[in-house]
Amino acid sequence: MSLTMILVACLATGLSVAIYYVLQVRGQPVPEPVVHFRCNGCGQKLRIRSSKAGRPGMCPRCRQRWTLPGEPTIARNDVYLVLNRK
């Protein structure tokens, strides 16, 4: 099995840094990107599917309310980091 991790974008937001990436298995369709970020209230590591980006959310640990990081806009000239694992 071969995995490819593509770093789609790294955004500085009100929720510190949000990292968008996609893990793809060779021969399978590209899945929806996942967003990883930390709650500013308690530092809890959180992740969401990119389709939920921009919606209101709440930290399950400290109950702080915020807006989930929005989807990145990616220009054609942006650099993508690709990591392959076999």
Maximum separation of any 2 CA atoms in the chain, in Å? 40
pTM, to two decimals: 0.51
The answer to whether residue 82 sits within a structural domain is: no
Structural domain containing residue 27: 3-76
Q: Which residue has the higher pLDDT, 63 or 4?
A: 63
State the pLDDT at residue 62.
Answer: 94
Inform me whether the pLDDT recorded for 15 exceeds 70: no
Average pLDDT, the chain: 66
The answer to whether residue 32 sits within a structural domain is: yes
Spatial separation of the C-alpha atoms in residues 82 and 6, rounded to whole Å: 5
Residue with structure tokens 């599917």? 49
The answer to whether residue 81 sits within a structural domain is: no
State the pLDDT at residue 69.
Answer: 63
Residue with structure tokens 């807006």? 67
The answer to whether residue 15 sits within a structural domain is: yes
What are residue 50's phi and psi, to 5 degrees?
-60, -20
The closest of 26, 21, 33 to 3, measured between CA atoms, is 26
Domain total in the chain: 1
The answer to whether residue 8 sits within a structural domain is: yes
The answer to whether residue 17 sits within a structural domain is: yes
User: SS3 helix, strand, coil % of the chain, rounded to 5?
Assistant: 5, 50, 50
